[in-house]
Amino acid sequence: MSDFLRLAEDIAREAGDMLLAKRPTMSEEIETKSSPTDVVTILDKASEELIRERILAARPGDRILGEEGGEAPGESEVRWIVDPIDGTVNFLYGLPDWAVSIAVEVNGEVVAGVVNAAQRGEVYTAALGEGAWLGGERLRCTTGVPLAQALVATGFGYSVSRRVVQGEVVAAVLPRVRDIRRGGSCAIDLCSLAAGRLDAYYERGINHWDYAAAGLVATESGARLGGLHGRPVSPGFALCAAPGLFEELHDLLVPLDPERD
């Protein structure tokens, strides 16, 4: 796993440096995906191309799943999960909460993950069973926080119908917690939770590349990551917090039916 982690970190750092050097303005060419608010820039594609090239140069038989390019087949049991820019809208507006995210799966299990929050100058790393780290500091999520004192992060989807439901849900959650934060990057939210900067996170509609690496960072910090009703984390729903708070927030969310659109 150390070889996987070293390679993933080197590539994530290179991609982050490229993105910082070529940071766009609002006049840059952009495209939309699922809706007018779901954007992709030419640098999303350039970052993913760089990452794919570096992975295949080092490990030509591995599979790669990327947000922009889809899945590339391979012969090995190893699959790389790539989000070239998680938080593209933040990146486009010059806000710091965006990241390059690279995870490594072996036989379907994530064993290594790197999240490079390049504009923040922070690189989060994790290896299965070996902890989560920010630089030389081991990360531990905050424990013992009751729901009423929890700082909770969430995010919103791109379709109008989903946003209507998410607005209803967050309106019901807000009076029951310390406060709500909406940073705009699933990967950074999960890493911030691992670092004790947030107490909990929930969101509907995130994809595997959004949470693969950062989810490992969070769980290796001691947090629990899953879906509702005992299901695993998925695009259907993601919930993350330390044990105890996880269950409290889960029980608050379930009657709100946050998985509806």
Query: Each residue of 130-147: pLDDT tens digit?
Result: 999 998 899 999 999 999
**Of 138, 165, 199, which residue sits at a domain end?**
138
Residue 30 pLDDT level (bands cut at 50, 70, 90) = low
Domain contains 261: no
AA letter at 175 = P
Q: What is the model's pTM?
A: 0.94
The active-site residue, picked from 85, 102, 188, 206, is: 85
Residue 55 catalytic? Answer: no
| Same domain? 126 vs 233 | no
**Of 107, 138, 169, which residue sits at a domain end?**
138
Domain contains 251: yes
| Same domain? 32 vs 127 | yes
The β-bridge partners of 40 are 31
* 83 annotated to bind ligand: yes
Domain contains 213: yes
Q: How many CA atoms lie within 13 A of 193 on its CB side?
A: 38
| Same domain? 173 vs 231 | yes
| Same domain? 122 vs 204 | no
| Same domain? 90 vs 152 | no
| Same domain? 131 vs 103 | yes
Residue 67 catalytic? Answer: yes
Residue 64 catalytic? Answer: no
Alpha-carbon gap, residue 69 to 64, rounded angstroms: 9
Name which of 40-44, 50-54, 159-163, 253-257 the model is least confident about: 40-44
Residue 97 catalytic? Answer: no
**Of 92, 109, 138, which residue sits at a domain end?**
138
* 3 annotated to bind ligand: no
| Same domain? 35 vs 72 | yes
Domain contains 14: yes
| Same domain? 122 vs 198 | no
- Count of structural domains, the chain: 2
Alpha-carbon gap, residue 235 to 218, rounded angstroms: 17
First-residue to last-residue Cα distance in the chain: 39
Q: Please say if the pLDDT value at position 28 is more than 70.
A: no
Alpha-carbon gap, residue 91 to 53, rounded angstroms: 23
Residue 81 catalytic? Answer: no
| Same domain? 122 vs 203 | no
Q: How many CA atoms lie within 13 A of 1 on its CB side?
A: 17
Percent of the chain whose predicted confidence (pLDDT) is above 90: 84
- Domain limits for position 59: 1-138
